[in-house]
Amino acid sequence: MAARALREVGRRRGWAAEVGRRCFSGGSAGAAVAEPKEGGAGGGKAVNLFTAVNQALHIALDTDPRAYVFGEDVGFGGVFRCTTELADRFGKNRVFNTPLCEQGIAGFAIGLAAMVLFVILDCYCYFQILALLDLMIIVNEAAKFRYRSGNEFNCGGLTIRTPYGAVGHGGHYHSQSPESFFCHVPGLKVFSSVVIPRSPREAKGLLLASIRDPNPVVFFEPKWLYRLAVEEVPEEDYMLPLSQAEVIRKGSDITLIGWGAQLAVLKEACEDAAKDGVSCELIDLKTLIPWDKETVEASVKKTGKLLASHEAPITGGFGAEIAASIAERCFQRLEAPVARVCGLDTPFPLVYEPFYMPTKNKEMHQCKRRQAQARSTGQGSIRCDGPQFTRGTWFPALGPQRHHVAHSSSGRNRRARAAQHHRTPDIDRR
């Protein structure tokens, strides 16, 4: 019944007549689109995060007639008021409510995006987008649409907006952080992005970039900051680059990395750590898939230590992927093990939310602990910096004695003899 209702909605609105080649700055086919600015100018009006999202949706619908916004309750403004006044300005043909059927909504969105239209699907709560994941619509359809056709067709115009994270009273259903689920989908890893802004200005620029990106994007909005975060946001059309991390605070002792609402907690930890003489470098990752490894790697090579923090449970969280990648790429520069300050491996509690959350005190404790580990191992451990070996870095697998034996002249002779003994003879394999 829901599927028939969605098909009827499509027929009434006559979308087939508007199908054209997707373009962002004009083009030979499709409606012309005003070219947006990169980065956005300074100044603007002070607004909160949900208002910045609303501005981005207004601009997306105004600059391209092929853009549509739909979902449950978006017609009257949505649960968080992010779609306020959209239906009044752009009409109910482009901004409309859908039946209460997550599988039908997602399938309809993918089909509409495959018609070379821009689709902004509004999922107003965590368990709604998890229902889409459970029903394999995102996993088996949106993520693999381009791959299975050999790039013959795609649903790159699809953007899925959804809130995430703690809000102070959401309990175990409305406070979860599911970003790592989508990071683990093979198709989404290659063809999509998972984007999480930290502030109103970031939300507007990143959302417009996500809508106009030629790949499906899952856009998570920190629920805690919808009304709490307020800053000046440029009123004009602008975009911020995806998959490009930002160094918010420069430091020399340890690198702290996070995204979304957790950045506010990390900022407080950096300020308190500075009072104790610990210089922290803070990085906002912004995009999780694909994430900016180069920026994080450069910072860790400078500081020698890394702390990753997120609200999702620690086991299988995206912080583990960051830790593994940095350990592989920066192993010879690490002065201490990579730290993770994350949520607990339990259902999200209601009364005990303060104990579950990765707080400033937990992050401060890990920063001091990593500093102490670096000092304690700095006297006897070996630092590998290019071809030379110097003291000062944590080397977990090799103690000082093993390291010196391995690189002594006798050690080199033994390895040379072993290599000569096991060398594959040169034979003609033709």
Residue 102 bears catalytic tag? yes
Q: Kindly report the average pLDDT of the chain as a whole number.
A: 79
pLDDT at 144: 86
pLDDT at 55 over 80: yes
Residue 145 has pLDDT above 80, yes or no: yes
Overall average pLDDT of the 386-391 stretch: 36
Q: Is 116 left (phi over 0), alpha (psi -120 to 50) or beta?
A: left
Q: CA separation (Å) from 360 to 265, 317, 355, 399?
A: 6, 19, 12, 34
Q: Which residue has the higher pLDDT, 22 or 299?
A: 299
pLDDT over 90 at 351, yes or no: no
pLDDT value of position 291: 93
Q: Does 425 or 267 have the greater pLDDT score?
A: 267
More confident residue, 187 or 151: 151
Catalytic one of 8, 35, 38, 102:
102
Measured CA to CA, the distance from residue 71 to residue 85 in angstroms comes to 15
Q: What is the pLDDT of residue 193?
A: 64
Q: Is 311 exposed, middle or buried (0-12, 13-18, 19+ CB in 10 A)?
A: buried
Peptide bond into 290 cis (omega under 30): yes
Burial class of 95 by CB neighbour count within 10 A (0 to 12, 13 to 18, 19+): buried
Q: Show the tokens assigned to 413.
A: 């002779």
State residue 268 phi and psi, 5-degree precision.
-65, -40
The amino acid present at 248, given as its one-letter code, is I
Q: Can you give the pLDDT at residue 187?
A: 55
How much is the average pLDDT of 324-337? 95
- Cα separation of the two ends of the chain: 65
Confidence tier at 97 by pLDDT (50, 70, 90)? very high
Tokens 């500081």 -> residue: 303
Q: Which residues pair with 233 in a beta bridge?
A: 45
**Could you tell me which residue, 295 or 140, shows the higher pLDDT?**
295
Do the beta carbons of residue 244 and residue 61 sit within 8 Å? no
The yes-or-no answer on residue 174 being catalytic is yes
Taking 60 as the threshold, does the pLDDT of residue 312 lie above it?
yes
- In this structure, the strands spanning 193-195 and 158-164 are unpaired
CA distance 102 to 117: 20
pLDDT for res 335: 94
Q: Which domains does the chain have, with CATH numbers?
A: 2-239 (3.40.50.970), 246-377 (3.40.50.920)
Compute the distance between CA of residue 401 and CA of residue 56 in angstroms, rounded to an integer. Answer: 60
Using the predicted structure, report yes or no on whether residue 363 has a pLDDT greater than 50. yes
Mean pLDDT of 219-225: 91
pLDDT attached to residue 297: 97
Q: Which residue carries 């003609």 as its tokens?
A: 428
Q: Which of 58, 174, 184, 365 is catalytic?
A: 174
More confident call, 361 vs 31: 361
* 43 φ, ψ (degrees, to nearest 5): 80, -155
Least confident of 22-31, 80-89, 385-394: 22-31
Q: Which helix (H) or strand (E) holds 322?
A: helix 318-329
What local confidence, expressed as pLDDT, does residue 257 receive? 97
Would the pLDDT of 121 be above 90?
no
- Which of 25-39, 300-314, 330-344 shows the lowest mean pLDDT across its residues? 25-39
The span from the CA of 92 to the CA of 127, in Å, is: 26
CB 277 within 8 A of CB 303: no
User: Which of the given ranges, 103-112, 164-173, 213-222, 312-321, has the highest pLDDT on average?
Assistant: 312-321
Closest CA to 177 of 135, 126, 134, 214: 126
Greater pLDDT, 39 or 44: 44
Q: Work out the average pLDDT over 200-211.
A: 95
Q: How confident is the model at residue 9 (pLDDT cuts 50, 70, 90)?
A: very low
Comparing 181-185, 244-248, 338-342, which segment has the lowest mean pLDDT?
Answer: 181-185
Q: Mean pLDDT check: name the lowest of 1-15, 349-363, 391-405.
A: 391-405
